[in-house]
Amino acid sequence: IPQKPWFYDLREVWKGYPIQSMLPSQYWYYMIELSFYWSLLFSIASDVKRKDFKEQIIHHVATIILISFSWFANYVRAGTLIMALHDSSDYLLESAKMFNYAGWRNTCNNIFIVFAAVFIITRLVILPFWIMHCTVFYPLDLYPAFFGYYFFNFMMVVLQSLHIFWAYLIIRMAQKFITGKVVEDERSDREETDNSEEEEEVAKNGPLSNGHPVLNNNHRKTD
């Protein structure tokens, strides 16, 4: 994408529209992203349900609709910019998760702070003030607004609203990282966290009864 002229001049996004050529790289980028979000939509049903479960469903559905519609309406150049902008912070989030699972807490915390900064810059600054400005105002210089124009930008507003919601949660978590407090996922319910702690205790000490370990008498005693 950095090699494309519309990466630097957003007016190039609409140059020659609606007749614009499709590059093989753009085709595969669309197919991989669309497949990925369909897989997220199906797998979320079996994942841990968090406070933002409904928001995640809305996000995945809105993203699938945007990717599909931009493909059919040949908004491919705008679509690739939007997907690349989202991916830039997602890599950091997944890296932070992996280091957290590996027990590298300091590395996880540092990466998460970088992720929070990139998320806010890309999704609360660049997306609304550059990309959405490009999709709302620049097309009107070339052709009159039609249904697809309004529909696409409405879905972008839905997506941006979710970004504001998640940015609030991310900032709260980042504050805890910086202050050194014990951090848990802001999307988690208290009950879910308590259950996880109980499971860890059971794994270490065996089943508990009134807070005390229960001996397992199902196995034959051997010398």
How do residues 163-207 score in pLDDT, each as one tens digit? 999 999 888 887 877 776 655 555 554 444 444 444 444 444 444
Please tell me the predicted confidence (pLDDT) of residue 64.
95
How do residues 76-112 score in pLDDT, each as one tens digit? 999 999 999 999 999 999 999 999 999 998 898 889 9
Q: Find out whether 137 and 154 touch, Cβ atoms under 8 Å.
A: no
How do residues 128-174 score in pLDDT, each as one tens digit? 999 999 999 999 988 888 888 999 999 999 999 999 999 998 888 87
**Secondary structure (DSSP) of 100-124:** HHTT-HHHHHHHHHHHHHHHHHIII
- Total residue length of the chain: 223
